[in-house]
Amino acid sequence: EGKFDHEAMHHYVNVVKALRERGIEPMVTLWHFTNPVWFAEKGGFINVDSPKIFTRYVKYVVENLRDRVGLWITFNEVGTVYTYYSYINGLWPPHSRNIFKINKLWGNFSKAHILAYQEIKKIYSVPHLSILTNDMSHNVEVGLVEANAHVVFGNALYQKLIGKLFNYYRNLNFFKKTFPYYDFLGLNYYKIDRMPGSYTVLPKQEFVAEKGWEIFPKGIYYRLMELKKFKKPIYITENGIADGKDELREKFIKEHLRWVWQAIHDGADVRGYLYWSLLDNFEIIHAYKAKFGLVEVDFKTFERKIRPSAYEYAKICRDNMMQIYE
């Protein structure tokens, strides 16, 4: 507790340096589910001191990366995914299954975000000379990320009334607690969640990926139009498909981007899109079985192979940049 691994920090300094040298804008997430053991043993974010402890960590990281990072995310999916898996169904640590802790959890997460937001802004407000890169102080942005599946209810009336209210409340609950302490909102979108009887409202969709997810590209449009109401810039911080055979990914990307374009056309202030993920990665419950990567990774040899869908995605990115500069 209170000690940091400077060698690990130096690794991340080199990562963001390498990104910038290649013309890539780093977006850094400060917390993505995992906690130090000593912090978990103190109750994690149930602990009343957790906002202060988290802010100490944020200060250390941001002071080390501020020269090359202008986009920060404090928390990833705390109001939806983390709460559900850790405190409702108990599959993730701390395996609690205690819904009575959720209000305290959300309250501490909200306080931690606000303190972190203020600390980051404070760090960047101090004049800072860097011989390594341009000073980032004038354009630093701090945001929050939530995951929102497209929830389909049991009949058309419920979908119209309860479904719309439910989907908006998921965002409102956490974003309202932290307002106005964010400069952008992040959306992670992947799939459909169904309630009993919902196939009468929305037929079974075409793609079911390795994780058993039912894919509905238009859902990203609905989620973006809900976030539009918060009148903040939006980044799609995760959108992807587990597809080791690379049979579905190209269509998945193109159809989701089509609906992102429609949302922009209809007034959503979408500033960026990040496919999840560049490399095949470690998924908490599924380990290395779910192949999300644009790049295939052999986890025995660490050999990397670019999948065909990655070239199609690169083509979309290049064509888009050409249109911008034209």
pLDDT score, position 20: 95
pLDDT score, position 136: 57
Is-contact 78 109, C-beta < 8 A? yes
Categorize the per-residue pLDDT at 248 as very low, low, confident or very high, splitting at 50, 70 and 90. Answer: very high
Compute the average pLDDT of residues 240-253: 95
DSSP for 56-121, written as a single string: HHHHHHHHHHTTT--EEEEEESIIIIIHHHHHTS--STT----GGGHHHHHHHHHHHHHHHHHHHH
pLDDT score, position 131: 42
Categorize the per-residue pLDDT at 303 as very low, low, confident or very high, splitting at 50, 70 and 90. Answer: very high
Cα within 13 Å of Cα(28), Cβ side: 24
Q: Find residue 184's DSSP bridge partners.
A: 143
Distance between CA atoms of 122 and 63, rounded to whole angstroms? 11
Largest pairwise CA distance in the chain? 62
Identity at 251, one-letter amino acid code: K
pLDDT score, position 198: 87
Cα within 13 Å of Cα(139), Cβ side: 10
Compute the average pLDDT of residues 289-315: 96
| Position 28 pLDDT exceeds 50 | yes
DSSP for 103-138, written as a single string: HHHHHHHHHHHHHHHHHHHHHHHS----SSS---TT
Task: Give the relative orientation of helices 164-178 and 218-227 as an angle to the nearest 10 degrees.
Answer: 50
Tokens of 187: 């959306």
pLDDT score, position 322: 61
Distance between CA atoms of 30 and 11, rounded to whole angstroms? 15
Task: Kindly give, in sequence order, each residue whose CB lies less than 8 Å from that of residue 273, ignoring residues fewer than 6 positions away.
Answer: 235, 236, 239, 257, 260
Compute the average pLDDT of residues 226-240: 94
pLDDT score, position 175: 82
Distance between CA atoms of 198 and 196, rounded to whole angstroms? 6
Tokens of 142: 């701090």
> Which residue is associated with the tokens 């374009």?
261
pLDDT score, position 172: 66
Of all residues in the chain, what percent carry a pLDDT higher than 90? Answer: 70
Compute the average pLDDT of residues 129-133: 48
94-107 confidence digits (pLDDT tens): 998 988 898 899 99
**Mean confidence (pLDDT) of the chain:** 90
Q: What are phi and psi of 153, to 5 degrees?
A: -90, 175
Tokens of 163: 């479904």
Compute the average pLDDT of residues 7-23: 96
31-49 confidence digits (pLDDT tens): 999 999 999 999 999 999 9
DSSP for 138-172, written as a single string: TS-EEEEEEE--EEE-SSHHHIIIIIHHHHHHHHH
Task: Kindly give, in sequence order, each residue whose CB lies less than 8 Å from that of residue 91, ignoring residues fewer than 6 positions away.
Answer: 85, 285
Compute the average pLDDT of residues 150-169: 72
Compute the average pLDDT of residues 217-241: 95
DSSP for 191-218, written as a single string: -EEE-TTGGGTSPPPS-B-TT-PBP-TH
171-197 confidence digits (pLDDT tens): 667 788 888 999 999 999 999 988 888
Q: Residue 7, class by beta-carbon neighbours within 10 Å (0-12 exposed, 13-18 middle, 19+ buried)? A: exposed
* Its pTM surpasses 0.85: yes
How many helices and strands (H and E) does the chain possess? 10, 10
200-213 confidence digits (pLDDT tens): 888 999 877 778 89
Q: Find residue 144's DSSP bridge partners.
A: 185
pLDDT score, position 132: 44
Note the Cα 276 to chain centre separation in Å.
9
50-93 confidence digits (pLDDT tens): 999 999 999 999 999 999 999 999 999 998 899 889 998 899 99
Q: Which residue has the higher pLDDT, 16 or 138?
A: 16
Tokens of 101: 């802790």
